[in-house]
Amino acid sequence: MSDTLNTPAKSWQARIGEATDAIAQTFVESMSYDWRLYKVDVAGSIAHATMLEKVGLITGADREAIFAGLKEIEAEIDRDGPKWAGFKPELEDIHMCVESALTERIGEPGRKLHTGRSRNDQVATDLVLWIHNVSYALGREQFDVIIRAFVDLAERNRDVVMPSFTHLQRAQPISAGAEALTWASTFSNALQRFYAPWMTQTVEWPLGSGAIAGTSLPIDRELSLWWMNRETPGMVGHDEIEVSRSSIESTASRDLACDFLYACAMTAQWLSRWAEQWIIYMTTEFGFIKIADRYTTSSSMMPQKRNPDMLELIRGRCGNVYGDLFALMTILKGLPIGYNRDLQEDKRIVFRAYDTVSQCLTMAAAIVNSASYDKARIEPTLDRGFLDATSLAEYLVTAGIPFRTAHHIVGTLVARCEKEGKHALSQLSVEAFNEVIAASKTDKRVTEDVFTCLGAANVVKRYQSAGAAGGKPFEDQLAAWKERLGV
């Protein structure tokens, strides 16, 4: 015989002849994680109650009692968090816990609150509001901090010259500050993905859609949205959200949650790529970056080790966020239109992805704020890898030699250096340069002036194109970032 629980009746209990099995009750509850929706749940309920009063479905006294009771409940959860006494697993979710506690406090008006709505549209509304709030909070908090950290790093290391890499092979010399600004740019772009649904498409207000088909009661869904905008202007905006066109779609859709998870996944990707870059830079073989010891660990066996564990965990947790995106997409792919209980899993997934990204952004910003490029290690290596080869080719272009010809000339000069045991183009004489140039069947020649384009530091100073990784373009970028951030 199954074990059943003698618990308060659920909102739907009248139709079901048996009490919920204990195992089933534990299996279906979501209160243990969706409790964090309480603020948006209270806000949505107040907006709904205000609308119900305006259309005459409840009295002004009812609305005042509902408002006071909900704000009292909100204050208690603010204080007690998940330990709030009103969180009862047998009531399944945050929505029923709040409604049950409200009815216990204010009696009959509490039983009127659910008029014209369903948990289906209520949970969809809560998710819209929660995603809006955390998307903008990420921008004000974690993203702002990490972007500022990279801009500060660029300022501190503006005079450090380092190699850039393509195919993980040395490419052209750059300002280390320019690489730091690159990461500021990537995270600024990542932030825009969280804002994109609110700025570039219509986000729909589900409240009042009911279970699937709407209601025959004379509710005014525009009014509940208007109230939400008026009373909680930081929560939604008139230009960002409008009443949904289809009650069926608005209770079944989780498109906004997918957009949010995609933004989380893209942020995790950039966090992982940055972490990988710095893990490489921290190796003895590179030695380009130093971070504070407090963000490293050592080995239980090898006492010399200084391991970048925090960076490695950031890199590893990217996979979890990817999994969250694919998890929700996989759940949605097999669902018929209309609400299905599978959708309860959306919050578990969305919360997990948000928590992971938020924590990784906070950790990353702390690491960046502690970091510096190791100029003493980097500079002695700058004459390795022929970093100035492209600069020499471009110098030859300014002398009137076609780029493809100049490219061939410099390739030949590099090969000659390697054959003669030289590691830098600047070790060749002007006569050697002109000998190779003459072999290319051009009448152009170079003078001692050619050495002004050689050497990593000289190359970095010569950059002119917008967005370039050195010279005036880099200084302009840095100034623009500082102005934008109010530094």
- Kind and range of the H or E run holding 243: strand 241-243
Report CA Rg, the chain: 31
Report residue 331 as tokens: 């759940």
Task: Find, among 273, 255, 259, the residue nearest to 360 by Cα.
Answer: 273
Q: Is the dihedral of CA 274, 280, 281, 282 positive or negative?
A: positive
Does a structural domain hold residue 209? no
Q: Read out DSSP for 273-286? A: HHHHHHHHHTSTTT
317 and 449, same domain (yes or no): no
Q: Is 47 exposed, middle or buried (0-12, 13-18, 19+ CB in 10 A)?
A: buried
Task: Note whether 151 and 285 are same-domain residues.
Answer: yes
- pLDDT single digits (tens) 252-274: 999 999 999 999 999 999 999 99
CA-wise closest residue to 212 among 174, 178, 253: 253
pLDDT band at 201 (very low <50, low <70, confident <90, very high): confident
In angstroms, the CA 427 to CA 134 distance is 57
CATH at residue 265 = 1.20.200.10
Domain end marker among 379, 408, 442: 379
Residues 271 and 357 in one domain: yes
Is there a single domain that holds both residue 198 and residue 289? yes
One domain, residues 367 and 391 = no
Q: Determine whether 299 is an active site residue.
A: yes
What average pLDDT does the structure give for the chain? Answer: 92
Domain that holds residue 73: 21-115
Q: What is the β-pairing status of strands 241-243 and 203-205? A: parallel
Q: Which of 2, 32, 298, 299 is catalytic?
A: 299
Q: How many domains does one find in the chain?
A: 3
Relative to beta strand 241-243, strand 161-166 is unpaired
Give a yes or no: residue 277 inside a domain. yes
**Same structural domain for residues 54 and 187?**
no
- In degrees rounded to 5, what are phi and psi of residue 307? -95, 140
In this predicted structure, what is the pLDDT of residue 5? Answer: 40
pLDDT of residue 10: 55
State how far the Cα of 146 lies from the Cα of 368, in Å rounded to an integer: 8
480 lies in some domain: no
Separation CA 118–CA 482 (nearest Å): 49
What is the H or E stretch that residue 165 is in? Answer: strand 161-166
Per-residue confidence (pLDDT) for residue 198, from 0 to 100: 84
Pairing between β-strand 372-373 and β-strand 289-290 as defined by DSSP bridges: antiparallel
* Residue 260 sits in the same domain as residue 150: yes
pLDDT at 3 over 60: no
Q: What is the mean pLDDT of residues 315-335?
A: 97
* Domain co-membership, 129 together with 178: yes
Q: Is residue 313 part of a domain?
A: yes
Please check whether residue 482 lies inside any domain of the structure: no
Instruction: Label residue 28 by pLDDT band (50, 70, 90).
Output: confident
Indicate whether 83 and 188 sit together in one domain: no
| Alpha-helix runs per DSSP H in 297-446 | 309-333, 345-369, 375-378, 389-398, 403-419, 430-439
Which helix (H) or strand (E) segment holds residue 242: the answer is strand 241-243
Higher pLDDT, 188 or 4: 188
Q: Is 114 a known active-site residue? A: no
Among the candidates 333, 358, 379, a domain finishes at 379
pLDDT(14) > 50? no
Domain's final residue, options 379, 402, 435: 379
For the chain, helix, strand, coil in percent to 5 are: 65, 5, 30
On whether residue 259 sits in a domain, the answer given is yes
Residue 79 is part of a domain; what is its CATH number?
Answer: 1.10.275.10
Band of residue 9 on the pLDDT scale cut at 50, 70, 90: low
Please give the full DSSP string across 24-72, using - where no structure is assigned. HHHHH--HHHHGGGHHHHHHHHHHHHHHHHHTTSS-HHHHHHHHHHHHH
**Rounded distance between C-alpha atoms, residue 304 and residue 92, angstroms:** 52
Q: Considering 32, 167, 298, 391, which one is annotated as catalytic?
A: 167
Answer yes or no: do 146 and 268 share one domain. yes
Q: At 487, is the secondary structure helix, strand, or coil?
A: coil
Based on the fold, state whether residues 375 and 419 are members of the same structural domain: no
Predicted confidence at residue 443, as pLDDT, reads 92
Residue 273 placed within a domain? yes
Q: Tens digit of pLDDT for each residue in 421-479? A: 999 999 999 999 999 999 999 999 999 999 999 999 999 999 999 999 999 999 999 99
On whether residue 450 sits in a domain, the answer given is: yes
Please report where in the chains the tokens 């959860």 appear, as a residue.
77
Report the share of the chain in percent with pLDDT over 70: 94
Global confidence as pTM: 0.91
pLDDT at 29: 86
| pLDDT of 16 strictly over 60 | no
CA distance 434 to 446: 6
| Model confidence band, residue 1 (pLDDT cutoffs 50, 70, 90) | very low
287 shares its domain with 328: yes
**Sign of the dihedral defined by the CA atoms of residues 213, 217, 220, 225, in that order:** negative
